[in-house]
Structure 1
Amino acid sequence: MEGDIQFKIGRRTNDPRSITPEERSKWQKQLAVNARDYLFSIGQPLVYKRDGHIIAEHKDGRLQVIR
């Protein structure tokens, strides 16, 4: 059907416990980008803790201090 949502699931070809520190850093950065993109695509902010405050980052670039 036209307009159906399709999901693509990726699988790592190697075990995360056996990758180099450089590969691990790159992998973790990509996970963060993927999470941000997904949250923004469903209209949700990215929420994280920075300097003891809870921050909501919105797709339009606004940063909102929640606590």
Structure 2
Amino acid sequence: MTDRDQRLQVKRYRVRRRKHGTCSVCTFRELTDGRFHCRKWPDRQGSCDTDGKLPKFQFDETVMTDLRGS
């Protein structure tokens, strides 16, 4: 992967996170009505780092491989 490809991949990651929220790059994500949220917690979006409940945010590495060829 070239430097240009890596920069584009990071740019796509940032856009995804800004557009869809932190839950869109978490391993515990679910998609309901076009909105990412914690698995089995539709009212919980992006607050997993601060609310003290499980599951906690965990980065999903497959997101980066999905964004590689976009």
- TM-score, with normalisation over the residues of structure 2? 0.34
Q: Which has the higher helix share?
A: 2
- TM-score, with normalisation over the residues of structure 1? 0.35
Q: Which has the higher strand share?
A: 1
